[in-house]
Amino acid sequence: MEKKKVAIRVKKLEKAYKLYDKPSDRLKEALGLARKKRYKEHYALKGVDLTIHQGETVGIIGTNGSGKSTILKIITGVLNPTNGSVKVNGRISALLELGAGFNMEYNGIENVYLNGTMIGFSQKEIDARMDEILSFADIGDYVYQPVKTYSSGMFVRLAFAVAINIDPEILIVDEALSVGDVFFQAKCYHKFEEFKNMGKTIVFVSHDLSSISKYCDRVVLLNQGVKLGEGSPKEMIDAYKQVLVGQYPIPGEEHEGLLDDKDIQAAAAKKGEGVSEAGGVNGKNLVTEVSDTVKNPELLEYGTKAAVIEDYFIRDEAGRKCSAILKGGECSIHMKVRFVEDISEPIFAFTIKNIKGVEITGTNTMVEKAFLESVQAGSVKHITFTQRLDLQGGDYLLSLGVTGYENEDFKVYHRLYDVMDLTVISDKDTVGYYDTNSKVVVS
């Protein structure tokens, strides 16, 4: 079997930044006037090893601040590493900060030549690609106008078209496939799949776990600048969900010794996305007693508080608390409710909305005929809704409520709108909100 050639090799990569308490400390350091160390070192990357072979599509995932964008910028030469080495075999096109090399006074055509020259193309090579670039951007006669007159949508369309049509051997993508309107996004993903089918090497950073699952052959998980592991998309997405709640497991025999490193131990234990060690978000508890699930700090909360939702979380089919569920898998929505007053036949409910605010689905205990009892003050009830999730891949918002009727009047005791995010991970999306799971036969 022919051994694949290495496209990118990263060894013991580190990137440290100096953090100063005040600007004068930075100035003294620069002028050589500081008698003592006036900065703290922050490692955006620490001891990362990575090998990517030609023709591979490798995804990099992790929480905000994990070092994903930093490693891409070092690979593309935008940043210099503090320590370690990077070797790249092949011409790179990077979709990092779209349009970063554009001159706002030049028109679109002039900027195409400017960017092509910066990448290393001759005028003849750019001429040969010009029609394809302009067709992909599809901004009409605006290409003859100064870029400073463009809308933000036209700007990114042209920048993306230039970057994607220069026939690179290695494509570096950082959250750049969601630019423009829905039709342009579809065109971007089609081009991405075309590159993959042509056997190009692709390094892909995204928070869109469905895209990671669909396109990537292998996934690398970073957290707090440390590489926690690499493996199949499913394995690393499962591990990422555990990182979010500070429950990253000790690796098996195939990773034996990985957690002997103190930096890796700290990164594995650290909760991501601003979650404090005590639970809650950014150190602030949202309700009386919260679990360690990531929650929305800007949720809408109201009601008489005759009953209070004290805790809430989602579990996947493996029983782990998380906010990312594989499409078609089973999940359960949990809430803990404490009763401050006697309530006759309370109703417990959940609703799932898309990010535009459209209610997609939901149910309650009255509709399900699951609980029709009265509850006394001081009681605590634990409610679990379990269901198979056939929503299309994407991000959704979960809302919870405790309501009821008093003398035929509807009462809201406690409602929490948009309390937490629910991400559905999918490698196959059909039309609409739900997958009907059709069985297809062609004869």
Q: What is the pLDDT of residue 81?
A: 92
How far apart (Å, rounded) are the C-alpha atoms in residues 44 and 42?
6
Query: Strand ranges (DSSP E) for 83-207?
Result: 83-88, 92-95, 170-174, 201-205
Tens digit of each residue's pLDDT (9 = 90 or more) over 94-104: 777 666 678 88
Alpha carbons 124 and 122: distance in angstroms, whole number: 5
Kindly give, in sequence order, each residue whose CB lies less than 8 Å from that of residue 180, ignoring residues fewer than 6 positions away: 153, 156, 157, 160, 188
To the question of domain 300-425 being in CATH 2.70.50.60, the answer is: yes
pLDDT tens, residue by residue, 117-162:
877 788 888 899 899 899 888 888 999 999 899 887 788 888 888 8
DSSP β-ladder status, 394-406 and 347-354: antiparallel
- CB atoms under 10 Å from CB of 443, counted, come to 2
Longest C-alpha distance within the chain, in Å?
83
- In this predicted structure, what is the pLDDT of residue 299? 78
pLDDT, residue 442, reads 87
What single DSSP character describes residue 438? -
Task: Determine the pLDDT at residue 332.
Answer: 95
What pLDDT is stored for residue 270 in this prediction? 64
Q: How far apart are CA 398 and CA 406, in angstroms?
A: 26
Question: Each residue of 387-417: pLDDT tens digit?
Answer: 999 999 888 999 999 999 998 889 999 999 8
CA distance readout (Å), 374 to 309, 343, 346, 377, 380: 17, 6, 7, 10, 12
Asked if residues 387 and 330 have their Cβ atoms less than 8 Å apart, the reply is yes
- CATH architecture of the domain 6-220 equals 3-Layer(aba) Sandwich (3.40)
pLDDT per residue of the chain (443 residues) written in tens, 0 to 9: 456 789 999 999 999 888 777 787 777 777 777 677 777 788 889 999 999 999 999 999 988 888 998 999 899 888 899 999 999 998 887 777 666 678 889 999 998 998 888 777 888 888 998 998 998 888 889 999 998 998 877 888 888 888 778 778 888 888 766 666 666 777 777 777 888 888 889 998 888 787 788 788 999 999 888 998 899 888 888 788 777 766 565 444 344 444 455 666 666 666 554 333 323 333 333 333 344 555 677 778 889 999 999 999 999 888 888 888 888 989 999 999 999 999 999 999 999 988 877 889 999 999 999 988 999 999 999 999 999 999 998 889 999 999 999 988 899 999 998 898 898 988 788 888 888 888 888 87
- The DSSP result for 50-103, as a single string, is EEEETT-EEEEE-STTSSHHHHHHHHTTSS--SEEEEEE-S-EEEESSTTTT--
pLDDT (0 to 100) of residue 284: 33
Radius of gyration of the chain (CA): 26
What is the residue extent of each domain of the chain?
Answer: 6-220, 300-425
